[in-house]
Amino acid sequence: MFTFFAVQSEVFRSPRGIANWLDPASTLGIMAVAVAMLMIGGHFDLSAGVMTGTTALTVGIVAVEFRQHLWVAIGVALVVALAIGFFNGWLVTRTGLPSFIITLGTFLMLQGLNLGLTKLFTDTVTVGGIDDVPGYAVAEWVFASRVEVLGAPIRVAVLWWLLFTALATWVLLRTRFGNWVFATGGDEVAARNVGVPARRTTIALFMTTAAAAWFVGTTLAVRLTSVQANTGIGQELIYIVAAVIGGCLLTGGFGSAIGAALGALIFGMTQLGIPYLRWDADWFYFFLGAMLLLAVLANRLVRRSAEAARR
Amino acid sequence: MTAPRDGAPPLLELADVGKDYGSVIALDGVSTTVRAGEVTCVLGDNGAGKSTLIKILSGVHRADRGTVLLDGRPAGFGSPREALDAGIATVYQDLAMIPLMAIWRNFFLGAEPTRGRGPFRRFDVARAKETTRRELAAMGIDIRNPDQPVGTLSGGERQSVAIARAVHFGARVLILDEPTSALGVKQAGVVLRYVAQARDRGVGVVLITHNPHHAHPVGDRFLVLNRGRSLGEFAKADISREELTRLMAGGAELDALGHELERPGS
């Protein structure tokens, strides 16, 4: 993928170009890694996209409208995110309903809340002026600064993305919790029979996804200094696409954080590579769809070979 | 073989055990013993009360009548967890294994060894792999690579891994629910060999089956159930495979059926 675009476009392979396409890949990648963990655990979160908007708006409203220190606002947003994540997980484990439906409900509810509350507090659909709030300088350094690498300004989100990918990989492959995630997604009843706390694992995964949404939402709020009420809507499917391109099975029990990160990388490359080639950007979704199909077909082979000798 | 070997009480002793579901008598007046290093086979046709007996032994149900003695002391398990803590492990037909996960991950699922402390507490992967390899080898199970997913194993191999897992986690009594029923002749033979291995390592095995041809070669004593009642408990020396088969199939009932089906006038 990289070679393809790099050969065709000089800008694409320059350090500055790389910094450019790494940027959309990073925020998407942080979410895709968390969503991949959730999918390995056997669940979807359709509210993940809109939750980045909810947290970004919470940061803005608490900081600007309630005149709080920015870090207080960021803390409040984290509490809100974890509460939503817990609610999702609790409802899914309590009712046994498909997480698809439950989080579709949360998604729509949050979409309405984002718009309604933003209008209520600001009389517009935007929260702005986040950079005038005390604490902005440190927050900007943590969430939105740039680091010079080989003369190219890399967004700090890229470094966070690498860190979270490494952390998620370690958790999945080298901790008890990781083992439980694979088991819960692979066969929840069997997992419970051997003493895996499947319910707690599921709730923890939903809260992890929510925490990732908080991180990305805060990054958006600090970086852009103003937040639209419709931020994040539609992104939830992109996260799932990235995770699936990275090898996650839709049925759970299989996948990797590195794969999801690569899925996000491919997404970023395609998104910016197509305009670099001066192709019509309308083709972007065609490529994305084709890659998704290829990835799903490849995954099916994996599952087949793993279950071939069941008899 | 029915006399105690060294005067020690049997691991498990059931005396006149019974269980009702509402007005239906599922099990009545059943007695048997399970000794270390012996295989007790429970035989019976469908609906004979085999599953009820397993549920009492594994702590899912309590017996309504009779006594259950563990090491000679009265015991009634309130939950599967209590039974497990007392060293009674049950390997069910569905095995509780995750097909897409590696053998060593399945082996330690829910009881992963860890090292390090605090936020650095992690799954001790090296030890888990090594232990899995060693335990499977000790049972004579030849697994090419503990990293392969359980889904790639045959049914017999999976049963064997489940048995090895139960033995490793300190099972003194191992209850096997129809371990050979879904298997072909060759695979069933493989599983029976591991049952014998577990027995030789001093585990008391309860083998539940409806196949006397599988039970007779490996069993030391045989409890035959029919409609919730015991048709008797036999030591291996006292009963041949043919008699066992006949008893299981309903004995006298089968003779009567034979008469009925005979051609008139022949």
Q: Sign of the C-alpha dihedral, residues A176, A182, A183, A185?
A: positive
% chain A with pLDDT above 70: 95
Q: Which chain A residue's Cα is nearest to B156? A: A311
> pLDDT, tens digit, for every residue of A121-168?
888 888 888 888 888 888 888 888 887 777 778 888 999 999 999 999
% chain B with pLDDT above 90: 3
Shortest Cα distance from A250 to chain B (angstroms)? 13
Residue A63: how many other CB atoms lie within 10 Å: 28
DSSP state of A251: T
Are B152 and A191 a contacting pair at CB < 8 A?
no
Are A186 and B108 a contacting pair at CB < 8 A?
no
Average pLDDT taken over every residue of chain A: 87
Residues in B touching A305 (Cβ below 8 Å):
152
Are B98 and A175 a contacting pair at CB < 8 A?
no
Dihedral (Cα; A64, A65, A69, A73), 10-degree rounding: -90
How much is the average pLDDT of A239-261?
A: 90
Task: Note whether A200 contacts B: Cβ–Cβ < 8 A.
Answer: no
Asked whether the predicted pLDDT for residue B2 surpasses 50, the reply is no
Task: Note whether A264 contacts B: Cβ–Cβ < 8 A.
Answer: no
State the ipTM, two decimals.
0.78
Are A179 and B108 a contacting pair at CB < 8 A?
yes
Asked whether the predicted pLDDT for residue B1 surpasses 50, the reply is no
In this complex, which of B96, B100, B154 lies closest to A311 when CB atoms are compared? B154
Shortest Cα distance from B258 to chain A (angstroms)? 37
Q: What is the value of pTM for the model shown?
A: 0.82
Spatial CA neighbour of B139 closest among B169, B163, B113, B173: B163
Instruction: Say if CB B65 and CB B18 are below 8 A apart.
Output: yes
d(CA A115, CA A216): 19
Residues in A touching B82 (Cβ below 8 Å):
none
> pLDDT, tens digit, for every residue of B53-108?
888 888 878 888 888 888 888 877 777 777 878 888 888 766 678 888 999 998 88
> pLDDT, tens digit, for every residue of A42-73?
999 999 999 999 999 999 999 988 888 899 99
d(CA A79, CA A3): 43
Are A195 and B110 a contacting pair at CB < 8 A?
yes
SS3 B36: coil
pLDDT at A33: 96
pLDDT at B55: 84
Asked whether the predicted pLDDT for residue A9 surpasses 80, the reply is no
How much is the average pLDDT of B149-154?
A: 84
Mutate to test the interface with B, among A167, A175, A199 (most CBs of B within 10 A): A175
pLDDT at A310: 42
> pLDDT, tens digit, for every residue of A187-206?
888 888 777 888 999 999 99
SS3 B75: coil
Are B110 and A194 a contacting pair at CB < 8 A?
yes
Are B96 and A253 a contacting pair at CB < 8 A?
no
Are A190 and B111 a contacting pair at CB < 8 A?
no
How much is the average pLDDT of B22-39?
A: 87
Residues in B touching A191 (Cβ below 8 Å):
96, 98, 109-110
Give residue B234's region: left, alpha or beta (phi > 0; psi -120 to 50): beta
How much is the average pLDDT of A228-253?
A: 89
pLDDT at A107: 95
Helix axes A235-245 and A48-60, enclosed angle (nearest 10): 130
Task: Note whether A297 contacts B: Cβ–Cβ < 8 A.
Answer: no
Task: Note whether A190 contacts B: Cβ–Cβ < 8 A.
Answer: yes
Q: How confident is the model at residue A306 (pLDDT cuts 50, 70, 90)?
A: low
Are B151 and A307 a contacting pair at CB < 8 A?
yes
Under CATH, which architecture does the A2-300 domain have?
Answer: Orthogonal Bundle (1.10)
How much is the average pLDDT of A236-255?
A: 89
DSSP state of A277: T
d(CA B22, CA A206): 43
Q: Which chain B residue's Cα is nearest to A191? A: B96
Q: Which chain B residue's Cα is nearest to A255? A: B100
pLDDT at A80: 95
pLDDT at B253: 66
Are A306 and B100 a contacting pair at CB < 8 A?
yes
The length of chain B, given as a count of residues: 266
Asked whether the predicted pLDDT for residue B164 surpasses 80, the reply is yes
Mutate to test the interface with B, among A167, A172, A173, A176 (most CBs of B within 10 A): A176
Q: Higher model confidence: residue B210 or residue A35?
A: A35
Residue-range domains of chain B with CATH: 32-261 (3.40.50.300)
Are A183 and B94 a contacting pair at CB < 8 A?
no
Q: Which chain B residue's Cα is nearest to A189? A: B96
In this complex, which of A175, A194, A306 lies closest to B123 when CB atoms are compared? A175
Shortest Cα distance from A39 to chain B (angstroms)? 14
Mutate to test the interface with A, among B58, B79, B90, B101 (most CBs of A within 10 A): B101
Contacts of A145 (CB under 8 A, 6+ apart): A156
d(CA B137, CA B107): 14
Asked whether the predicted pLDDT for residue A267 surpasses 60, the reply is yes
Task: Note whether A267 contacts B: Cβ–Cβ < 8 A.
Answer: no
Asked whether the predicted pLDDT for residue B137 surpasses 90, the reply is no
In this complex, which of A174, A183, A311 lies closest to B98 when CB atoms are compared? A183
Residues of chain B whose C-beta is under 8 A from some C-beta in A? 92, 94-101, 105, 108-112, 114, 121-123, 125, 149, 151-155
What tokens were used for A131? 């950079």
pLDDT at A103: 94
Are A175 and B96 a contacting pair at CB < 8 A?
no
Task: Note whether A227 contacts B: Cβ–Cβ < 8 A.
Answer: no
How much is the average pLDDT of B210-215?
A: 84
